[in-house]
Structure 1
Amino acid sequence: MALPKRAFCVGNRTAEAAQALGFDASSAGGDADDLLAQIASVAPVGCLLLLQGQDTAGDLQNRLISAGIETVSVITYRQIAQRLSDEAILLLQGSAPVILPVFSARSAVLLVAELRRTAAKAPLQLAALSSAVAEAFDFPTELVQIASRPDSFAMQQAIEALRALG
């Protein structure tokens, strides 16, 4: 059985990767809500195959099913928590400001656990992919910059804005 040629992707990089594999890919350019809206507007016929991580935000599969779109989900990757490196711990226990780019709410929670475990005391500046990421980062920060869009270019701009302020 051949896969359909259409691919709906949450972001630009995934859409580019899907196009490189020969799919007719489109990017929702945002988050799970944007992807749901894009798929619902097209109303695909047949069953949709949702490739996703083990830990996701937004329960997209059930939301698609609730929208009348038959969906089967397959976990294709897992985000494995990592300990901070000795070098990172040394920086975080210092006195110089540290900019932390954080791309997901889950990453924020994992990072906060590491900051607490290592007794981080450096002045922290958070570059967050979204307001949901910033809300999940439950640790004192001096500055928070939220990316204007949920993509890597906007994150680079958020980091540069923090560098300019710091």
Structure 2
Amino acid sequence: MSELAASEYPLPAFYFRVKFASSGDSADTAFQEVSGIGAQLDTEDVAEGGENRFVHKLPKAVKHGNLVLKRGIAPNSSELVQWCIKVFEQGVDIIITPMTITVELLDNTGQPARSWSFVNAYPVSWQIEGFNAGKNEVAIEKLEFSYQYVNRER
């Protein structure tokens, strides 16, 4: 059986799991939404001398956006919240301890069909989405993480 058939291509986007190196697969890592997985190749324009009809686009570097995770607002006892508090509220003179964050897209049996590991990740933004008395919605916190590089493992 091919890998494509085994993973029931195309995979649904609603069945996923997020793991932090420090907390593994705890309830603290339950998220409503994951975004920001991707890469972009920056290029540099170079005009060729004597030839005015076109410009060469040469590859420069690969850049990645931030990994964005959304969930209901967690209690202060959450390990992830404690990590964010340490980074954002105790000043820039403390050492930020990065960790690996793994995002797994699961198949219908709950096994990882696709997996991305974000290496040396650390929080760069922590926002609480707006409150609205006219809507019956869960209060959401949005966490953004910068990272050194990403590995697609499956």
Report if TM-score (shorter chain) is over 0.5: no
More helix by share: 1
Q: Which has the higher contact order (CA 8 A, sep 6+)?
A: 2
Of structures 1 and 2, the larger Rg is shown by 2
More strand by share: 2
